[in-house]
Amino acid sequence: MKKILFPFLILFGAGALAAAQTNAPVAKTNSPPTQITSDTADFDLSAHQAVYRGHVKVVNAEVKLTCAWMLVDLPSAGGHLSNIVAETNVVIDMTDAKGQTYHVTSAKAVYAYKTEGVVTNETVTFTGKPRVETATSTIDSEPMIWDRTRNKFTFIGPNMISRESPGAGATNASPLKLF
């Protein structure tokens, strides 16, 4: 496997979230760079794209991603990543600011970043039987959209399974009536 380090590549991570909401510059931190490994990588400098193939693994401080194939539209100097496509057995493990862990699987994940005036849109759209698992629930949805600027998931036609008992932690809670 080839190992490539990109300090500017924040793939599906939360590092630019605060700046994305205000379009303010991202404060530089001492966080480690994003590391990408794969069997092969092709860089098209004219098209500003990188294609990673075979056992692709992306690791940064917030997120771990694995897949079989990944296309990255490389930003110009000082720019922000605008498009990433990960395909085939996509697995993403992440932890939010509150310590909640998420395990997301899908056939395809598409990251899109776009600013129009003062409005920033930053989403990851999961397709191909996407599933998100947390400590308390599992949700299947097609598609599943993660709005990173609002830290919100949107589920279309969700099938949800809760592993938490109703009223857990509540006092004087009424028992759940199924019918």
Q: What is the bridge-based pairing of β-strands 2-6 and 34-38?
A: antiparallel
Question: Which segment, 32-36, 84-88, 98-102, is predicted with the most confidence on average?
Answer: 84-88
Average pLDDT of the residues in 21-25? 35
Q: What is the mean pLDDT of the chain?
A: 80
Euclidean distance between CA atoms 37 and 2, whole angstroms: 5
More confident residue, 4 or 102: 102
* Position 126 pLDDT exceeds 70: yes
More confident residue, 159 or 98: 159
CATH architecture of 6-130: Sandwich (2.60)
Q: Which residues pair with 170 in a beta bridge?
A: none
pLDDT of residue 169: 52
**Domain range annotation of the chain:** 6-130
pLDDT of residue 55: 97
Q: What is the pLDDT of residues 139-151, one digit of tens each?
A: 999 999 999 888 8
> Does the pTM of the predicted model rise above 0.85?
no
In 1-47, which ranges are continuous DSSP H helix? 17-22
